[in-house]
């Protein structure tokens, strides 16, 4: 069953909108951030990680972003170019705004935290003038990352992209992507997240992120209530992630596809969502069934939590498929299909 009708005549597979940043992950991990002394620099930013992931799976990827006009901005643009990602819509800030920096803390395989430096931030300078209709119209889908809604002018740029996507019949993917920084209130979060979610075809988020989105609508929903509500608003696929407990995709025909995580020796607790989104969306673009997309997403997520980086360790399709095959041999099938 296909839930999203991607226009195969469009040359770009996915355009993403949101932050491109840098991760500094500790080399001397299993320590507090205060104690760590040595870090490795990686491209970062959840939507940027997803872009790298889906490009490595062979898709043609574009990006709407503002980056800093300095060496860090050079680093991320060059990294994208080396990954084959189109950078024609990535512009430099002109007033000294800085690229987002994320210092991560890996205390143990289950406990990590991220410290984000986002003052005077470049990515939230994305402007409505940066968003052109032709670029969206040439793409099979657009992914909007929630943090882009945290401040103006990025907020209006994201909403313009959303409007142009609807006008050009371009499927909208909303990766809720909550990061507390730059938001002034939880009501603000709910207002803007729900505007985008109501016009999205696919919504990806953790339970916490749906709770934030639904705060002014109906707080305290179950997953089933959440899925039914967003289906009633037009979403075709609602994915709710629950960390180590796995994830579930709810489709608008009443099907519920749950998957347990592929067992893995985790190193960190972050990065799974980006790997998940990249591989899950790849599967959809390939016309795969939902349970195949879930397997790809969940396997990619497991590989990412087992690795030191997010972007740099995004797996190829062969790596994901080999991992799935080995896991199934040892642990059996991971997917359970049922009715909502």
Ligand X SMILES: O=C(O)C[C@@H](O)[C@H](O)C(=O)COP(=O)(O)O
Ligand Y SMILES: Nc1ncnc2c1ncn2[C@@H]1O[C@H](COP(=O)(O)OP(=O)(O)O)[C@@H](O)[C@H]1O
How many helices (H) and strands (E) the chain has is answered by 10, 14
Cβ distance 237 to 202 under 8 Å? yes
139 scored as a contact of ligand Y (CB under 6 A): no
If the CB atoms of residues 86 and 295 are measured against ligand Y, the closer one turns out to be 295
Query: What letter would DSSP give residue 2?
Result: -
190 binds, among ligand Y, ligand X, none (CB under 5 to 8 A by kind): none
21 scored as a contact of ligand X (CB under 6 A): yes
Q: What angle do CA 315, 321, 327 make, to 5 degrees?
A: 105
Strands 90-92 and 21-26: unpaired
44 scored as a contact of ligand X (CB under 6 A): yes
- Distance between CA atoms of 228 and 190, rounded to whole angstroms? 18
298 scored as a contact of ligand Y (CB under 6 A): yes
257 scored as a contact of ligand Y (CB under 6 A): no
Query: What letter would DSSP give residue 295?
Result: H
If the CB atoms of residues 49 and 252 are measured against ligand X, the closer one turns out to be 49
> Which among 72-80, 128-136, 185-193, 297-305 is the span making contact with ligand Y, rule CB under 6 A?
297-305
Residues 127-156 that bind ligand X (CB under 6 A): none
Cβ at position 10, least distance to ligand Y in Å: 27
What would the x/- binding string for ligand Y be over residues 73 to 102, using CB under 6 A?
------------------------------
Strands 100-106 and 21-26: parallel
Query: What stretches of 5-107 adopt beta strand conformation (E)?
Result: 14-17, 21-26, 39-44, 61-67, 90-92, 100-106
Query: What letter would DSSP give residue 12?
Result: B
Which residue in the set 266, 281, 296, 314 belongs to the binding site for ligand Y (CB under 6 A)? Answer: 266
241 scored as a contact of ligand Y (CB under 6 A): yes
Residues 78-117 that bind ligand X (CB under 6 A): 102, 114
The string of DSSP codes covering 220-240 is: S--HHHHHHHHHHTT-SEEEE
Residues 158-197 that bind ligand Y (CB under 6 A): none
The distance of Cα 52 from the centroid of its chain, to the nearest Å, equals 11
Which residue in the set 68, 247, 248, 252 belongs to the binding site for ligand Y (CB under 6 A)? Answer: 247
205 scored as a contact of ligand X (CB under 6 A): no
Q: Which residues contact 129 (CB under 8 A, 6 or more apart)?
A: none
Q: Which residue is nearest to ligand X (CB)?
A: 44
Residues 196-225 that bind ligand Y (CB under 6 A): 206
50 scored as a contact of ligand Y (CB under 6 A): no
> Which among 34-42, 226-234, 258-266, 329-337 is the span making contact with ligand Y, rule CB under 6 A?
258-266
276 scored as a contact of ligand Y (CB under 6 A): yes
Q: What is the dihedral of CA 62, 68, 72, 74, to 10 degrees?
A: 60
Cβ at position 285, least distance to ligand X in Å: 20
Kind and range of the H or E run holding 255: strand 255-259
310 scored as a contact of ligand X (CB under 6 A): yes
Q: How many residues bind ligand Y (CB under 6 A)?
A: 19
49 scored as a contact of ligand Y (CB under 6 A): no
Kind and range of the H or E run holding 145: strand 142-145
Residues 263-302 that bind ligand X (CB under 6 A): 270-274
What's the burial of 289, exposed, middle or buried (CB within 10 Å: 0-12/13-18/19+)? middle
- Distance between CA atoms of 37 and 10, rounded to whole angstroms? 47
The site for ligand X (CB under 6 A) is made up of 19, 21, 23, 44-46, 49, 102, 114, 270-274, 310
């Amino acid at each position: 069953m296909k839930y999203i009708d991607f226009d195969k005549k469009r040359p770009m597979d996915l355009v993403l909108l949101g932050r491109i940043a840098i991760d500094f992950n500790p080399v001397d991990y299993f320590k507090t951030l205060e104690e760590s002394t040595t870090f490795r620099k990686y491209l970062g930013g959840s939507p940027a990680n997803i872009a790298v992931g889906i490009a490595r799976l062979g898709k043609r990827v574009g990006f709407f972003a503002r980056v800093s006009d300095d060496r860090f901005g050079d680093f991320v643009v060059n990294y994208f170019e080396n990954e084959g990602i189109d950078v024609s819509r990535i512009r430099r800030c002109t007033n000294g705004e800085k690229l987002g920096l994320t210092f991560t803390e890996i205390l143990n395989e289950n406990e990590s935290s991220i410290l984000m430096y986002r003052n005077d931030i470049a990515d939230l300078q994305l402007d409505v003038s940066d968003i052109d209709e032709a670029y969206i119209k040439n793409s099979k889908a657009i992914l909007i990352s929630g943090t882009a809604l945290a401040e103006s002018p990025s907020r209006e740029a994201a909403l313009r992209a959303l409007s142009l996507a609807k006008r050009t019949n371009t499927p909208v993917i909303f990766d809720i992507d909550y990061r507390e920084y730059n938001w002034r209130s939880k009501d603000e979060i709910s207002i803007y997240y729900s505007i985008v979610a109501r016009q999205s075809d696919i919504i990806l988020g953790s339970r916490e992120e749906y709770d934030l989105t639904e705060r002014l609508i109906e707080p305290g929903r179950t997953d089933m209530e959440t899925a039914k509500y967003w289906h009633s608003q037009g979403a075709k696929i609602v994915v709710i992630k629950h960390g180590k407990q796995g994830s579930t995709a709810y489709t608008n025909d009443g099907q519920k596809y749950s998957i347990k995580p592929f067992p893995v020796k985790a190193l960190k607790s972050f990065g799974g969502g980006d790997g998940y989104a990249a591989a899950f969306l790849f599967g959809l673009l390939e016309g795969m069934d939902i349970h195949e997309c879930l397997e790809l997403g969940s396997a990619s997520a497991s590989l990412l939590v087992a690795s030191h980086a997010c972007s740099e360790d995004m797996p190829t399709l062969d790596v994901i498929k080999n991992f799935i095959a080995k896991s199934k041999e040892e642990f059996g099938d991971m997917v359970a299909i049922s009715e909502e």
